[in-house]
Amino acid sequence: MSQSTEQKFMNLLKEQASYEEAIGLMAWDMRTKAPKKAIDPRSEVIGVLSQKVHEIQTSEKMKEYLAALTGTSTAPMVIKAVEEARETYERTVKIPKEEYREYVTLQSKAESMWAEAKENNDFKGFQPYLEELVSYNRRFADYWGYDNHKYDALLHNYEPGVTVKVLDEVFPKVRKALTGLLEQIKGAPEQPDPSLLGGHFPKESQEAFSYEILKRMGYDFDAGRLDETVHPFAIGLNSNDVRVTTKYDEKDFRTAVFGTIHEGGHALYEQNIDPSLAFTPLATGTSMGIHESQSLFWENFVARSKPFWQNHYDLFKSHAPERFSSINLEDFYKAVNEVKPSLIRIEADELTYSLHIMIRYELEKALIGGEIEVKDLPGLWNEKMRDYLGIIPQNDSAGVLQDIHWSGGDFGYFPSYALGYMYAAQLHHTLKQEIVFNDVIRKGDFKQIQQWLTDRIHKFGKMKKPLEIIHDVTGEDLNPNYLVTYLTDKYQEIYKF
Amino acid sequence: MSQSTEQKFMNLLKEQASYEEAIGLMAWDMRTKAPKKAIDPRSEVIGVLSQKVHEIQTSEKMKEYLAALTGTSTAPMVIKAVEEARETYERTVKIPKEEYREYVTLQSKAESMWAEAKENNDFKGFQPYLEELVSYNRRFADYWGYDNHKYDALLHNYEPGVTVKVLDEVFPKVRKALTGLLEQIKGAPEQPDPSLLGGHFPKESQEAFSYEILKRMGYDFDAGRLDETVHPFAIGLNSNDVRVTTKYDEKDFRTAVFGTIHEGGHALYEQNIDPSLAFTPLATGTSMGIHESQSLFWENFVARSKPFWQNHYDLFKSHAPERFSSINLEDFYKAVNEVKPSLIRIEADELTYSLHIMIRYELEKALIGGEIEVKDLPGLWNEKMRDYLGIIPQNDSAGVLQDIHWSGGDFGYFPSYALGYMYAAQLHHTLKQEIVFNDVIRKGDFKQIQQWLTDRIHKFGKMKKPLEIIHDVTGEDLNPNYLVTYLTDKYQEIYKF
């Protein structure tokens, strides 16, 4: 019996998904379990399998199936899978093979040069690599095409539908509100005391609490696991195997506790994708921004809320060192919500985090648009840090060199972090219309929340585009006001300004 | 610049090796880390990648390269790689595709039916699957061809060069000696007291001692790791990533201690293969039998020897529960070397182990040769157990159903265990001519031993055939007398008969 074209197409997608799953496991292993000497040979193996994925995505077979299937199927899943595969096909074949190969080599070289430059506070050493990466990305943007701004072509890789036009409308509004709030917080009568949270906190106790919270969130340990790593991440190999990693800082429990919950939010998304999408490119989160909305929803809107600690502070104290027994809930809650401008993005608090993102957005947009050059970055970085956060890095390692993204050529990625935050606030607003959110959190009835997120977001995987999800769930387009209102209310209550 | 055929051939082998490495990591993960629900989808991914390996091995490209390269290269590594790939090609294409596909499906079905049958002591439930497996293997043997005995064609998969003729010469000799020794041991004046070894032994202490011993053996933890599993194994993903697994039985430390050393022996082999063989089919142990010779060498000839415990008993006691402090070295040494006929192969002692293997060999040889049928197995099994070991299983679960091998269609595999033991004894004999073995062990100078094994065996990977290695290292063909002498001397000393 001969297979239908549709069946052949699905089989080809399954082959691709299989390589991707194997690559995913190797990546997880390299960051958690693999012995030191395995890293280099394993990278070669990943290279071979990635090449295979690339070959499938751009194969003659794929081209033929896509042509044959376009407009013929009526099954929504097949229609979307064809759309997804066609877009990948078209974008990938637009880049000349030789150029792509050179770019991959450059990426891996640039990443190690960046690590060295960061270590030695040597922007000049990294500059030529970054210049090359920028020039490749400018060319890629031209290959891919765009309507208004060259940077839109890159944004599309991470957050399809979101453009410079959108961001230039929402980011300044949010920035203005955030810098205003920051001013009020600085002079506010009430100030949290984060020193309460310091001191030794045994790793095993942090681990036990992290496990407990993940379980309560609805994370399925039969379809995942929790491990230690240096730079925490969550990875969905398939919806039955979604792994969370975390880092235990014995001097600051917040790294592991909020970090695990954050990654747990990503993991819930991947665990709850409809199983019928398995082994297709639709079986993952729809975009970086929507993914981040899920992690930030759990980390901030749930786990940094007062009702969360009203429920969980006793549990926390049962794992925490003795000294926490004398810290009252109110002081604890305020301390974990301290706002303080800082140099490093990944250490930023809930309020200033988006300001860090906007700085990166403005710089990379101008860079790709050709308005500034790589050599201008350190000076502009420091200027913007002073303007938005009121502090200036002492050196480039704590400034323009701090993030890995650009060294991998990932321009257009940063905005998704701030978008995720705005999405989360907007979803939070909608959810609050449907349930008494604070009561549910206070009761620890996370099942209700997890189910809501699954029904409205998770299960669809890539069947819906990011802005389509936001519109379907909240009834409106991206609206940054919800984030501003949420932060204003929250910090007014804490800082009493 | 166009690539030479040799370069293209090596690239194809690298592609194959990359899939195999990914499969290896997935297999390790499934047996150590993967969450429960990941097992089924991961098996599908392994299936896709295995299919890919099969396609490469039998591809038109491979056929073309092999034809072009045969007799043209002068580089020994290329010559051997061509030989190896050609043999795989020829053996694989001899099996009709459709038949192979059906066989793979049967294997996976039969394995789960076996597990059920073993659980329920229901040989009849497993019988039809085993009959099918046997009939496939009889046909495969015909496709592959053989000179004297159909079973030779299967033996070749695990121990090329070893035939029924060889085994029928050595096994009866060894069996006669072993059953004779067993009689003498039964009536010997001195009897070890294994009850000394019982009682609770905390997992963490076993783990600490296991790590310590692996390190002393020369196992490189920068190129491997030790994890827990249900059925321990070692796996070489590449020579820079060779992982050992073990099982901690808190009621019997011997499982973990001798098991870890056994798997460590396998791991040393894979870690010390010449790096120039990487990403070719030559970068692994040359056969199951030689592999087993390495694990048994370390487990028995080193770690069950008196000089080993003369050196390590203090270290052991530093990790062991308090009660061991009152057990003297001599009694401890005798207890870990107790000989006692038992029903289960994997629990057998050093002496009776080979008898278990011979029973399986005789049965599967007769089965493949068509002299007996599957339905005869339970009766024959029990008969042979009585004849060789003097005990009869109460049921088939503890008898003919105990091992997984046949359910996977692995006929011809069992002899390698006993061959490995004979090889190890022969290597041990040679090594003793070159160094004062007992002194070296007593001093714990394992580096010398590890280096000797690397220089003579490990580094070659598959560059040499098993019997070639034995001849090159020991100056003679397989000679079972060394095993007999070794066991006779050892047990005479212990049991004083």
Summarize pLDDT for A29-81 with one digit per residue, the tens: 999 999 999 999 999 999 999 999 999 999 999 999 999 998 888 899 999 99
Give the whole-angstrom CA distance, residue B168 versus residue B173.
9
3-state secondary structure of B245: strand
pLDDT score of A2: 67
Contact A222 B37 (CB under 8 A): yes
Q: Does pLDDT of A131 surpass 90? A: yes
Chain A hits for B1, CB-CB cut-off 8 Å, are none
Q: Does pLDDT of A274 surpass 60? A: yes
Smallest CA–CA distance from A51 into chain B, residue? B15
* Maximum alpha-carbon separation in chain A: 78
B342 CB neighbour count, 10 Å cutoff: 16
In contact, A464 and A282? CB cutoff 8 Å: no
A15: nearest CB among B23, B48, B240: B48
Mean pLDDT score, A347-370? 97
Q: Does pLDDT of A1 surpass 50? A: no
Q: Does pLDDT of B2 surpass 80? A: no
A37: nearest CB among B41, B49, B223: B223
Alpha helix locations (H) across B197-326? 203-217, 253-271, 288-296, 306-319
In contact, B275 and B239? CB cutoff 8 Å: yes
The secondary structure of A174-240 as a DSSP string is: HHHHHHHHHHHHHT-S----GGGG-S---HHHHHHHHHHHHHHHT--GGG--EEE-SS--EEEEETT
Pick one of 2.40.30, 1.20.58, 1.10.10, 1.10.3470 as the CATH number of A5-94: 1.20.58
pLDDT score of A361: 98
In contact, B466 and B269? CB cutoff 8 Å: no
Residues of B annotated as catalytic are 263
Give the whole-angstrom CA distance, residue A444 versus residue A433.
18
Q: Does pLDDT of A313 surpass 50? A: yes
Each residue's pLDDT tens digit, B198-242: 999 999 999 999 999 999 999 999 999 999 999 999 999 999 999
Give the minimum alpha-carbon distance from A115 to chain B in angstroms, rounded to a whole number: 22
Mean pLDDT score, A88-112? 94
Each residue's pLDDT tens digit, A302-311: 999 999 999 9
- Print burial letters for B466-497: b (CB count within 10 Å at least 16), e (below 16): bbebbeebbeeebbbebbbebbbebbeebbeb
Mean pLDDT score, A314-329? 96
The secondary structure of B32-81 as a DSSP string is: HT--GGGHHHHHHHHHHHHHHHHHHHT-HHHHHHHHHHTTT---HHHHHH
β-pair type (A226-228, A241-246):
parallel
Give the minimum alpha-carbon distance from B15 to chain A in angstroms, rounded to a whole number: 6
Each residue's pLDDT tens digit, B116-171: 999 999 999 999 999 999 999 999 999 999 999 999 999 999 999 999 999 999 99
B60 touches chain A (CB under 8 A): no
Q: What is the mean pLDDT of chain B?
A: 96
In contact, B45 and B15? CB cutoff 8 Å: no
Chain A hits for B34, CB-CB cut-off 8 Å, are 241
Mean pLDDT score, A349-360? 97
Q: For chain A, which residues make up each domain, given as ranges?
A: 5-94, 129-497
Give the whole-angstrom CA distance, residue B129 versus residue B103.
11
Q: Does pLDDT of B1 surpass 70? A: no
Q: Residue type for A196, please?
A: L
Mean pLDDT score, A387-405? 96
Alpha helix locations (H) across B70-163? 76-93, 97-120, 123-144, 150-158
ipTM associated with this complex: 0.94
Contact B241 A15 (CB under 8 A): no
Chain position carrying tokens 């041991």 = B185
- Please, what sign has the CA dihedral across residues A36, A39, A42, A44? negative
In degrees, to the nearest 5, what angle opens at C-alpha B345 toward C-alphas B227 and B350? 85
Token pair recorded at residue B466: 């098993």
Token pair recorded at residue B457: 């065996």
In contact, A466 and A286? CB cutoff 8 Å: yes
Chain A, window 192-231: residues with a beta carbon less than 8 angstroms from a chain B beta carbon: 220-225
In contact, A73 and A85? CB cutoff 8 Å: no
In degrees, to the nearest 5, what angle opens at C-alpha B468 toward C-alphas B467 and B469? 90
Give the whole-angstrom CA distance, residue B57 versus residue B64.
12
Chain A hits for B220, CB-CB cut-off 8 Å, are 37
Substitution target in B23, B29, B37 with the highest count of A β-carbons within 10 Å is B37
Token pair recorded at residue B262: 């056994």
E-only strand ranges, A84-140: none
Give the whole-angstrom CA distance, residue B391 versus residue B173.
21
A239 CB neighbour count, 10 Å cutoff: 26
A324 CB neighbour count, 10 Å cutoff: 18
Q: Residue type for B93, please?
A: V
A42 touches chain B (CB under 8 A): yes
Q: Does pLDDT of B71 surpass 90? A: no
Mean pLDDT score, B287-299? 98
A25: nearest CB among B26, B220, B279: B26
Chain A hits for B25, CB-CB cut-off 8 Å, are 22, 25-26, 29
Contact A223 B36 (CB under 8 A): yes
What does DSSP assign to residue B301?
A: I
Strand order in the sheet with A241-246: A226-228, A241-246, A234-238
Token pair recorded at residue B279: 């990403």
In contact, B269 and B263? CB cutoff 8 Å: no
Pick one of 1.10.275.10, 3.40.190.10, 1.10.1370.30, 3.30.413.10 as the CATH number of B148-497: 1.10.1370.30
Instruction: Please name every residue paired with A469 in a beta bridge, in sequence order, or none if there are none.
Output: none
Topology given in CATH for the domain delimited by A129-497: Neurolysin; domain 3 (1.10.1370)
A179 CB neighbour count, 10 Å cutoff: 16
In contact, B496 and B189? CB cutoff 8 Å: yes
Mean pLDDT score, A400-422? 97
Give the whole-angstrom CA distance, residue B262 versus residue B210.
11
Mean pLDDT score, A429-442? 97
Give the whole-angstrom CA distance, residue B65 versus residue B59.
10
Smallest CA–CA distance from A278 into chain B, residue? B41
Chain A hits for B279, CB-CB cut-off 8 Å, are 44
Mean pLDDT score, B386-414? 97
A36: nearest CB among B15, B18, B222: B222
B29: nearest CB among A14, A25, A221: A25
Question: For residue B335, how far is the Cα from the chain centroid?
Answer: 25
Substitution target in B241, B243, B270 with the highest count of A β-carbons within 10 Å is B241
Q: Does pLDDT of A3 surpass 90? A: no
Q: Does pLDDT of A247 surpass 60? A: yes
Give the whole-angstrom CA distance, residue B284 versus residue B271.
9
